[in-house]
Amino acid sequence: MSRFVIGDVHGQFDGLTLLLKQMNMSDNDRVFFLGDLIDRGAQSAQVVDWVMKNGHGCIMGNHEQMCLEAFAYPNSSAVWQGWLINGGSRTLESYGDLGMSSEHLNWMSNLPLYLDLNDFWLVHAGLDPSLEIEAQTSTEFCWIREPFHRSTEPYFSNKTIITGHTITFVFPGLKAGEIAQGEGWLGIDTGGYHPKSGWLTALNLDSSIVHQANTFTGAVRSLPLAKVITPVVLNKSKRRLSRQQFSL
């Protein structure tokens, strides 16, 4: 049995289908998604429906959280605009005239904030290195960036954290499609929806093979993790990276 972790899909169902073929899974393999199944791409409804109906593991991403907050506050234009301008409009379009599925919304509302696989720990964005797990909330698990990325020591001594959320090419020295390596963590959001990349990534945790499909070109590839991993080096003396470099 192999365990596969897939980075932010962002409504790219056709790309996900290509990736799954490249992964060449057996019946007893397990698949986990790092959240952000929705928004930006044109096929969010299909992605959610497929993941939900196949019973794959999935954690909450910040885009699922924005979506749920919008439907929880139907009269808040600020909350709705915050979601819509960050890709929510594409999600609504994918559901057509019937609107967002209540079944899908209920499923998303029950997604965990992290999954502990014993030797690996899956979370969408990361965590605050200064806080115990019990003191952290969705703000850290779904949204954090630099405090986590700049950590100089692993959070866990016995497991590796796997994250999405921050597209890897925004880190200094990383190219499109490369896997980011920090202190005790790996980032595998390679920007499947983004025109500068298009690579959607799955990591086999047990064989350390990276499978990728490009949502724009249709190219696929499978490589040893060692061939596509690049350490993240953030100079603390430099100013903070501009928020415009990141995608919500």
The Cα–Cα gap between 150 and 169 comes to 16
Among 83-87, 97-101, 188-192, 242-246, where is mean pLDDT lowest?
Answer: 242-246
Q: What is the pTM of this model?
A: 0.95
Give residue 246's pLDDT. Answer: 54
Strand, coil or helix: 26: coil
Please give the domain boundaries of the chain with CATH numbers for all domains. 3-245 (3.60.21.10)
pLDDT band at residue 247, thresholds of 50, 70 and 90? low
| 225, containing H or E segment | helix 225-228
Per-residue pLDDT tens digits for 82-100: 999 999 999 999 999 999 9
CA distances from 218 to 14, 17, 40 (A): 9, 11, 18
